Amino acid sequence: MVEFDEVKLLIGEILQLGDRVRAFELETPLLGSIPEFDSMAVLTLIHALEQQFGIQIADDEISAETFETVGRVYQFVHAKVMAAT
């Protein structure tokens, strides 16, 4: 089972947000709202999610909607983990 805080903290680590990540909620916007969340950060986050949760993310699964909010990233990862079990 994937916990929201695990995903949230991983996002904060990748983006080097420090304590700012503690305020993140499901609805917290990412893409287009956090300057640190650029295309390189997306690629780094994808790799980190794959490593941390033992999932594979195909190119055709990557979309702007997936990274729109913290909650969408969490839901995506949760679904991938559940599908793999």
**In the predicted model, is pLDDT for residue 52 greater than 90?**
yes
User: Which domains does the chain carry?
Assistant: 4-84 (1.10.1200.10)
Work out the pLDDT band at 1, boundaries 50, 70, 90: confident
Residue 58 confidence (pLDDT)? 95
CA distance to 51, 64, 74, 85, per residue, from 44 (Å): 11, 15, 16, 24
DSSP assignment of 5-26: HHHHHHHHHHHT-GGGGGG--T
In 3D space, the residue among 20, 55, 16 whose CA is nearest the CA of residue 73 turns out to be 55
Question: pTM of the predicted model, to two decimals?
Answer: 0.94
Work out the pLDDT band at 85, boundaries 50, 70, 90: confident
